[in-house]
Amino acid sequence: MPAAAEPSSRLLAESLLAFWADAGVDAMLLEEAIDRIEAGRFVPPPPPARAAATVSPIRPAAQGQPDISAAVAQAQALAAGAETLDQLAEAIAGFEGCPLRFEGATRAVFYRGRADAPLMVIGEGPGADEDRQGAPFVGRAGQLLDRMLAAAGLTDRVFITNTVFWRPPGNRTPTPAEQMICAPFVERAIALVKPKMLLLVGGASAKSMLKREEGILSLRGRWFEWRSADSALELPAMPTLHPAFLLRQPGAKKRAWTDLLTLTERLDRPHRPD
């Protein structure tokens, strides 16, 4: 019996860690409590001066970093030249400025759904199933997303994409730099589709698109205004929980469903002239 209980404890720990990560937790409590008020009364002595030999004006690790600004500029030029979604897909497929392209991904994964959809769903990045099939949200998480969209009456009313178009190694969360490089393509897709609003799925998507630092449990269910880099485009956007998170935490489905109903009500609200 003790051997049988071990996997359950391990899975529970993994689930809790995933929950904290999606919630934006990035620090753990210490084993012993600290009286912060008392500690604040103590002025620590200045640290000893470092030996001159240990100070280097140039960090060697920085020399090998990619030129993100150049990659972003290239993406902007390619995106601006795309007049249709097909042309944008070709531009993304031929783009070599994102390092994810060379880290194990087999293809670019751009979008699925209607080209004139009133709602654009933006996730984080492709996973193994998406990399294999060449379309976003086609694995278990995507199947759950489709069932939720169908229940809300949004089937065939969505355009689904991600903040990056190549699978990150090990399905890790895309970095802010990788998202910045791909952002011009995302913005161009929004300009071509002309949706009425955005549904930002998961913490990485919400933080990248809205330029905010809060965790997804703080952002979800709230309305924000998304703006393009040049402020030419502005759309209402709602963050919500990622379906992969809901698979790990089924109890959170009610909150995601509430978000979806709130969004659908606004999407279908009759237009009121100013």
Residue extents of the structural domains in the chain: 67-267
Using an 8 Å Cβ cutoff, are 88 and 82 in contact? yes
Q: What is the dihedral of CA 94, 98, 103, 109, to 10 degrees?
A: -60
Letter for the amino acid at 70?
Answer: A
**pLDDT tens, N- to C-terminus, the chain (274 residues):** 444 444 556 666 666 566 555 555 555 554 555 554 554 454 455 555 544 333 333 333 344 455 789 999 999 999 999 999 999 999 999 999 999 999 999 999 999 999 999 999 999 999 999 999 999 999 999 999 999 999 999 999 999 999 999 999 999 999 999 999 999 999 999 999 999 999 999 999 999 999 999 999 999 999 999 999 999 999 999 999 999 999 999 999 999 999 999 999 999 988 655 4
pLDDT for the residue numbered 175: 96
- Report how far residue 43's alpha carbon sits from residue 225's, in angstroms, rounded to the nearest whole number: 44
The pLDDT score that the predictor gives to residue 54 is: 34
Q: Which residues contact 235 (CB under 8 A, 6 or more apart)?
A: 190, 195, 196, 197, 198, 225, 226
Contacts of residue 75, Cβ cutoff 8 Å, sequence gap at least 6: 95, 97, 98, 181, 182, 183, 184, 185
Q: From CA 22, how far away is CA 162, in angstroms rounded?
A: 17
What's residue 56's pLDDT? 32
Please identify, in words, the CATH class of the domain defined by 67-267: alpha beta
CA angle 272, 154, 228 (to 5 degrees): 65
Q: What is the pLDDT of residue 5?
A: 45
- Looking at residue 57, its pLDDT comes to 34
Structure tokens at 74: 């290239």
Query: What's the CA gap between 78 and 254, in Å, rounded?
Result: 41
Beta-carbon-side half-sphere exposure of residue 149 (alpha carbons within 13 Å) = 21
Give me the pLDDT at residue 50, please.
45
Q: pTM of the predicted model, to two decimals?
A: 0.76
pLDDT value, residue 16: 59
Inter-residue long-range contacts of 35-44, CB under 8 Å, 24+ positions, other chains counted: none
Helix (H, G, I), strand (E, B) or coil at 198: strand
Q: DSSP state, 221?
A: T
